[in-house]
Structure 1
Amino acid sequence: MSYANRSNPNPPLFLFLFLALVLCLFLFPSSSARTFATASESSGISRDVHTLRVPDVAVLERENAIVGPWDIRRHLEEEEQINTTMILVAEQTRRRDPLNNFKIYTNGFNISSKHYWASVGFTAAPFFIIAAVWFAFFGLCLSIICVCYCCCPREPYGYSRTCYCISLLLLMLFTLLAMIGSVFLYTGQGRFHSITTHTLKYVVHQANDTADNLLKVSDYLAVAKRTGVDSIFLPASVQKSIDTIQTKINESGTMLSTRTEENSKDIQRALDNTGLALIILSAVMLALAFLGFLFSVFGMQCLVYFLVILGWILVAGTFILCGVFLLLHNVVGDTCIAMEEWVLHPTAKTALDDIIPCVDNATAQETLVQTKTVSYQLSAVVDTIINNVSNKDVPPQAGALYYNQSGPPVPALCNPFNPDLSDRKCAPGEVELSNATEVWKSSICQVNAAGMCYTTGRLTPIIYNQMVTAVNLSYGLYRYGPFLAELQDCTFVRQTFTDISTKYCPDLGKYTQWIYVGLVMVSAAVMLSLIFWVIYARERRHRVYTKQFMTPSMERREKDPSSY
């Protein structure tokens, strides 16, 4: 192949691409500074409660059910609930929207909106433009060179040692930069994939943990519905409302875990595919730069020209990927800022519901009321038995109420709620839910086959076990109160987003930046390497031709100097 004379290089291509690359690097939009703040809310609920006695028998399957640690639950200050849709990251997302005649996009962060993605994609336009210009202009240059080689062949002369040495040094430099960029890209991709995987696992864990707690509350209510003490059970109205709220709880828990799991799988699948593509790309670009350098140095022109054509296409694709990861970098930044802003208004409807949704506020509120109601009623049932049966010295003629109870009175149970479901302090002499079963053990009597006490005591083993069952249920539901209160103001999502913002977002932003910087380095280095492969191959061919031409002439001059 023959190239244009050395004295007619093509600097506009090199200068244009180089300047465009530099300008693009300095014009990257940066993520806005973030501010962290917290706000909180809680709500008080009241409801009238009516009681009714219904005879039946019930057995508790889970007498020893224990609720997890609760001292870590947060109690939040009251704030006004916001039920309207809220625009997040309104200022930082003001970008040109190519789908709306390049007007400013004003709807904030919304990963479900094509206009949001179009506006973010527009920030990566410089890379897409460079890819298009490179592909068109370098392709045109290759076409012109091919035409010149086929139609206007010339002898390769005009060797310059300076140009030869400089092209070789620059070729070595750009090959080294391509290797460094590939390593940078591979490392950034690995760390980005790791941190995103941990982030998604954390989100799924938080959602599943909340869903599991909801289902546990549902199980507690189901058992409480058929639990009684000495044939006294929950009122029929309460039992009916338990059926209703159980359906809502199960639906909310299933929706929360399922939706979060599906969203996480979709994101993880996309990240896995992207990570694999980046690994393959970094390996291919590294091999391309290294092989191109070797083939150029050893004068394998056919292979060099083949790699030039391959590299021409790959560089264009790599610049497009640079734009894609600049887009991803900006989306990650927007998401993190959106999470920080949402923390200030956790009950607002926002686009973040597509990542992890809150539990329906009405369902959470109704569940909280129902658990308080059941806890209150169970405690009331136990106190009714203690006050009207166990502590009464009834005559044998009283029938079922008499079982020869005697001895010191059984301490009454401290009901944690008033009839209006407000918090209640224990009266003197009452025992708390946490230790009532231990205190009552001293009041158990031994019974004969007829169920009559023949030792001192006011509780038969059967009545005591039924009271233990009721107390365990009442205590369990009482301790789920803070969790349900947090569901009302979506505290679990608030905590999730706060943790992501503080623990994961800095690394997510950093490693997406590593990736697109690595892509820029690889793209620029291989792009310039392609140019200098051509230049060096030309100079090397001219050098070889010059040596072959000059050596015979010098030998003839030495033999017959008079002829010169």
Structure 2
Amino acid sequence: MEFSGLPCCVLSFALLLLPLSIASVELQKAPVSGRKQLEEDGFGAWRRFVAEVPSAGDATAQNSTFVLAAERTYRQDPMNGYQRYTGGWNIRNQHYWASVSFTAMPLFAIAVAWFLGFGIVLLLICCCYCCCRRRKHSYSRAADVISLILLVLLTCAAIAGSVILYDGQGRFHKSTSATLDYVVGQANLTVDNLQKFSSSLADARNIGVDQIFLPTDMQSKIDVLHTKINTSATALSTQTSKNSKSIHGVLDAVGWNLIIVSAVMLLLAFLGFVFSIFGLQFLVSILVVVAWILVAGTFILCGIFLLIHNVVGDACVAMDEWVDHPHAHTTLDDILPCVDVATADESMQRSKQVTFQLVNLVNQVIVNISNADFPPGMAPLYYNQSGPPAPPLCNPYLPDMSNRTCLPGEVDFNSASKVWKGHVCQTARVGGSDVCTTVGRITPSIYYQMTAATNVSHGLYYYGPFLAQLADCTFVRETFAALASNNCPGLDLYSKLIFVGLVILSAAVMFSSTFWMVYARERRHRKYNKQLSGRERVPLDF
């Protein structure tokens, strides 16, 4: 292919795309909460569609659920006759995806226009070369110098775009991985605490002190709750692990693809510059065709990352708003839902009841058996116990399950085993039972049973605040607040860097491919004119 024809047509076509390319660099900026007017989505070509955002009292904006990021997501929905989308951030709503995808339409339009328009230009050049027998080879020194300067600048721009893209994808990958790991860690923490709480419940069911156990109805309730908690924890753990592996796989694939795109486009820009400088016409022709296809693909990729950038921004605004409305039903329930209030309340209530009864069980043994003075022969109540009375265990709850303050002389969960150890006597086996042979109120076997019951009660009491956080969504609210403040700024910035890098790289290669042809043509014409001028200066031999 020889680019001797229509250089001005090619240059004009590329320059027509310049305003669109510049306009596409303007990213959508999210308005902060409380602004009176929605900021523009970016893209000057779409500004005529911008309208006022409905106020909070607008009936059309009201919904049975709390609408997240309502202002930011107030975009045109091509699936609904280009009416404004009012459903807020909702990854399960196809209209949300249609509206956010519409913000990337200018880039998709550029890709289509470039592919079709430049393809037609290349076809016309081929036809002109094959059909037209042009003998004139005009040469413009100004065009030669200007095209060379622009080639240098565009190659530098391609290098800059490649560096921005490479740096942005590395930071974006690191930031998204950290965000994912944080969410997975929070989910695993929830699973771990639920499993430990469930294990404590199972242990409490089988706890007995000196042949005294929990009531049968309480044991049945523990069995039911134990099954519920184990099922929920297992399902959450399995789903979290599966999603984590899938998302990490996608992130790795995206990262490698961006690196490959960056390297290929940079290599293409460099080779095109070198080949055009050395006047390798045939190789320049091949690179122009390759650039024609790759530029269209990278502009599509630009649109996709603009979409990702907007979705990430929407999600961050949604999380920030959800923190103020944790109990409202929102689409964030699909990511990390609050525990059902009834289930959480049941778990807390059952935990308090079991703790209360276990402490009472231990205290019944201490007060009614260990500290009581029975006449000899009343086995198993009498085992020759003597000495100072053992202190009772402090019950953290009243009979109505409200919090209780420990009384003087009671021991708490942390010090009970150490204090009771001083009241343990040495025993001997007499008549099939243990009998104290030294001063003490508690036999070693009863001590171990009391300690086991205390440890289980302490475990159930320890997980009370965790269950309370699940019940009032404090745990989830803190998770989303941390994501919004710590992870979202990086995700927003680095996704923007990827988009900007792709746009710069794509635009640089797009215009470079045009000037490859212009400079190669001028170089060929300059060489031809020099040869022609040399022949004219040869003296005639008469």
- TM-score for the superposition, normalised by structure 1: 0.87
From 507, 515, 525, give the equivalent of 1:532. Answer: 515
Q: What is aligned with 1:498?
A: 481
Q: Deviations over 1:91-118 (max 9, x none)?
A: 1101111111111111110112221111
User: Contact (CA 8 Å) 1:248, 1:363: kept in 2 or not?
Assistant: no
Q: Deviations over 1:168-206 (max 9, x none)?
A: 111111011111111110110111011101111111111
Matched, 1:555 2:538: yes
Q: Deviations over 1:475-525 (max 9, x none)?
A: 111111001111112222212111111111111111001000000100110
Q: What is aligned with 1:288?
A: 268
What letter is aligned with 1:398?
A: M
Report the CA distance between 1:143 and its aligned residue: 0.8
Q: Deviations over 1:68-94 (max 9, x none)?
A: xxxxxxxxxxxxxxx963221111101
What letter is aligned with 1:501?
A: A
Distance 2:64 2:323 in 1: 15
1:406/1:18 Cα in 2 relative to 1: closer, same or farther (>3 Å)? same
Distance 2:194 2:527 in 1: 81
Report the CA distance between 1:398 and its aligned residue: 2.2
Equivalent residue runs for 1:219-234 within 5 Å: 219-234=199-214
1:10/1:227 Cα in 2 relative to 1: closer, same or farther (>3 Å)? closer
| Percent of aligned pairs sharing the same letter | 54
User: Contact (CA 8 Å) 1:182, 1:283: kept in 2 or not?
Assistant: yes
User: Contact (CA 8 Å) 1:93, 1:109: kept in 2 or not?
Assistant: yes
Report the CA distance between 1:301 and its aligned residue: 0.8
Q: What is aligned with 2:12?
A: 12
Matched, 1:434 2:414: yes
User: Contact (CA 8 Å) 1:372, 1:421: kept in 2 or not?
Assistant: yes
Q: What is aligned with 2:459?
A: 476
Report the CA distance between 1:32 and its aligned residue: 2.7
Q: What is aligned with 1:370?
A: 350
User: Contact (CA 8 Å) 1:84, 1:348: kept in 2 or not?
Assistant: no
Q: What is aligned with 2:4?
A: 3
Matched position secondary structure for 2:377: helix
Matched position secondary structure for 1:448: strand
Matched, 1:403 2:383: yes
What letter is aligned with 1:218?
A: S
Q: Deviations over 1:14-72 (max 9, x none)?
A: 3311111122224x32123369xxxxxxxxxxxxxxxxxxxxxxxxxxxxxxxxxxxxx
Equivalent residue runs for 1:290-369 within 5 Å: 290-369=270-349
Report the CA distance between 1:304 and its aligned residue: 0.5
Distance 2:135 2:516 in 1: 20
Matched position secondary structure for 1:299: coil
User: Contact (CA 8 Å) 1:445, 1:460: kept in 2 or not?
Assistant: yes
Q: What is aligned with 1:453?
A: 436
Q: What is aligned with 2:144?
A: 164
What letter is aligned with 2:515?
A: F
Q: Deviations over 1:279-313 (max 9, x none)?
A: 11111101100011111111111110111011011
Q: What is aligned with 1:183?
A: 163
Matched position secondary structure for 2:429: coil
From 246, 249, 262, give the equivalent of 1:269. Answer: 249
What letter is aligned with 2:18?
A: F
Q: What is aligned with 2:134?
A: 154
Report the CA distance between 1:156 and its aligned residue: 4.7
Report the CA distance between 1:268 and its aligned residue: 2.5
Distance 1:238 1:147 in 2: 90
Distance 1:32 1:331 in 2: 14
User: Contact (CA 8 Å) 2:184, 2:240: kept in 1 or not?
Assistant: yes
User: Contact (CA 8 Å) 1:256, 1:356: kept in 2 or not?
Assistant: no
Distance 1:147 1:155 in 2: 16
Distance 1:467 1:23 in 2: 75
1:524/1:256 Cα in 2 relative to 1: closer, same or farther (>3 Å)? same
From 479, 488, 506, give the equivalent of 2:471. Answer: 488
Matched position secondary structure for 1:443: coil
Distance 1:85 1:272 in 2: 36
1:540/1:311 Cα in 2 relative to 1: closer, same or farther (>3 Å)? same
Distance 1:499 1:155 in 2: 71
Report the CA distance between 1:427 and its aligned residue: 1.7
Matched position secondary structure for 1:449: strand
Report the CA distance between 1:474 and its aligned residue: 0.7
Report the CA distance between 1:555 and its aligned residue: 2.5
Report the CA distance between 1:5 and its aligned residue: 6.8
Q: What is aligned with 2:56?
A: none
Matched position secondary structure for 2:172: helix
Matched position secondary structure for 1:452: strand
Equivalent residue runs for 1:195-274 within 5 Å: 195-274=175-254
**Unpaired stretches in structure 2, ≥5 consecutive residues:** 35-62
Matched, 1:32 2:31: yes
Matched position secondary structure for 1:397: coil
Report the CA distance between 1:2 and its aligned residue: 5.3
Report the CA distance between 1:276 and its aligned residue: 1.7
Q: What is aligned with 1:521?
A: 504
Q: Deviations over 1:397-441 (max 9, x none)?
A: 322100111111111111111111111111222111221111111
What letter is aligned with 1:358?
A: C
What letter is aligned with 2:253?
A: N
Report the CA distance between 1:152 and its aligned residue: 0.5
Q: What is aligned with 1:47?
A: none
What letter is aligned with 2:524?
A: R
1:227/1:214 Cα in 2 relative to 1: closer, same or farther (>3 Å)? same
1:165/1:178 Cα in 2 relative to 1: closer, same or farther (>3 Å)? same
1:494/1:551 Cα in 2 relative to 1: closer, same or farther (>3 Å)? same
**Unpaired stretches in structure 1, ≥5 consecutive residues:** 36-82
User: Contact (CA 8 Å) 1:174, 1:528: kept in 2 or not?
Assistant: yes
What letter is aligned with 2:305?
A: F
Distance 1:437 1:10 in 2: 88
Distance 2:464 2:23 in 1: 58
1:157/1:306 Cα in 2 relative to 1: closer, same or farther (>3 Å)? same
What letter is aligned with 1:235?
A: P
Distance 2:509 2:190 in 1: 50
User: Contact (CA 8 Å) 2:209, 2:362: kept in 1 or not?
Assistant: yes
What letter is aligned with 1:345?
A: H
